[in-house]
Amino acid sequence: MNTELKMYGINNIDQYIENVKQSMTYRFSGGNMIVAGLMSDAQEQMAMDDVEGARKTLNLAKNILFQIMEGQLVGNVKND
């Protein structure tokens, strides 16, 4: 298995990103809200003693954040 996929804890990071792009949260709020949601999920996982799950969730949040920084995803959606 690809090391990148092990790091993120999912089978297909590209498909995950495509699912993010299709989500209502991304379409109406942008990637920053996706990152915030993933970080909240990681906090909940840590509260439930799922440290490995929290680590993987934080890696997903970082991947999305890096894609926002590189201009591949939109951080904020302006709703006029």
Long-range Cβ pairs for the range 37-44 (8 Å, 24+): 38/64
Segment (H or E) for 56? helix 51-69
List, for residues 15-61, the tens digit of each pLDDT value: 889 999 999 999 999 999 999 999 999 999 999 999 999 999 999 99
Question: What integer pLDDT is reported at residue 79 of this predicted model?
Answer: 66
Q: What is the pLDDT of residue 58?
A: 94
pTM comes to: 0.85
Higher-scoring residue by pLDDT: 70, 3: 70
pLDDT (0 to 100) of residue 7: 61
